[in-house]
Chains A and B, each alone.
Chain A
Amino acid sequence: MGDAPGMIQNLINCRVDNALHHLNQAEYGAHLMIVYPDLDTLRELYSNYVHKQIKENKEIVLINPFYETTDSVRQVLSEKFNDDISNVSKYEKEESLMIADALEEYLGDQPLIYVKKGLANYAKVGKKGLSVLADLGAYSHRSKHDDLVNYELSLPTKYDVQMKGFCLYHQNDFDNLSDEQKEKLIEHHGKAIEIIRRKKN
Chain B
Amino acid sequence: MKPRQQRMLAVGLAALGIAIAAGLTLRAFQDNMMFFVEVSDVVAGNYPSERNFRIGGLVVGGSIERQEGSLDISFEVTDTACTIPVVYSGVLPDLFREGQGVVAHGRMGDDEVFQADKILAKHDEDYMAPEVADSLSKHQQDIADAAVAGAAECRSNDS
Does B associate with A?
Answer: no
Q: Which residues in A have some Cβ–Cβ distance to B below 8 Å?
A: none
Q: Which residues in B have some Cβ–Cβ distance to A below 8 Å?
A: none
